[in-house]
Amino acid sequence: MLLLALDTSTPTVVAGLVELPAGPGEPRELATRRLPGGRQHGELLMPAVLAVCEQAGRSLAELDALVCGTGPGPFTGLRVGMVTAAALGDALGVPVYGVCSLDGIAATAATAGTGEPLLVVTDARRREVYWAAYDADGHRVAGPNVDTPVALAELIDDLRPTAATGAAAAELGLPVLDIAAPTPVGLVAVAAPELRAGTPPEPLTPQYLRRPDAVAATSRKRATA
């Protein structure tokens, strides 16, 4: 099964082609791009998609499905990946599976063989972080949520992680794993049970976890004094 995996929930733009065996076996990376995107997700994502297709010698028309990180993440960056995935899925007539991006980071850590309770923490801006906690088997046990680093630090004794990962992990006083964004293989690993079973995907829904800054006007502004 040939899959395109995308994520724009963090400052890193992630795109990759992954092969998933129909039976037992781990996802295999064919080509990947992980680019420091800052706030240029829209400019970088589709060139990265075309680059991984060229590198792997495969075409978009060969895809069986797409996997896309649904956050949590800042509104502007996150919607770039999700809109791109939805548009490609519609154009190619293939399903799009959304997965929690923090789960993708945890799965990436699991493939690195960490095997320990983990706290995944990414930057939510406004002096806040997105986070989720995972047991030693990589199953999510809390979150995703958004909090200040101080509020999250107060939960660590209850969550009992032995390490943290993600771009905002260094503030928590735990050993840090250098995994700031999910890999394509990590994203596909999260969706693998549904992909292998042929389960229709749920609607692609972003996880913003908080209200947008923009607020709709409730009254018309006066043009004259």
Domain count, the chain: 2
The CATH number of the domain holding residue 170 is: 3.30.420.40
Q: Is residue 107 part of a domain?
A: yes
> For residue range 107-156, what is the model confidence (pLDDT) as tens digits?
998 876 667 899 999 999 888 999 999 998 889 999 999 999 999 999 99
Domain that holds residue 46: 2-102+182-197
Residue 167 has a pLDDT of: 77
- Residue 14: C-alpha distances to residues 52, 69, 141, 169 (Å): 11, 9, 25, 19
**71: which 2 tokens?**
């956050």
Q: Are residues 83 and 139 in the same domain?
A: no
Q: Are residues 190 and 117 in the same domain?
A: no
Q: Are residues 61 and 18 in the same domain?
A: yes
The structure's pTM equals 0.91
Q: Is residue 46 part of a domain?
A: yes
**20: which 2 tokens?**
């998933």
Residue 214 has a pLDDT of: 44
Q: Are residues 141 and 77 in the same domain?
A: no
Q: Are residues 98 and 108 in the same domain?
A: no
- CA-atom Rg of the chain in angstroms: 18
Q: Is residue 80 part of a domain?
A: yes
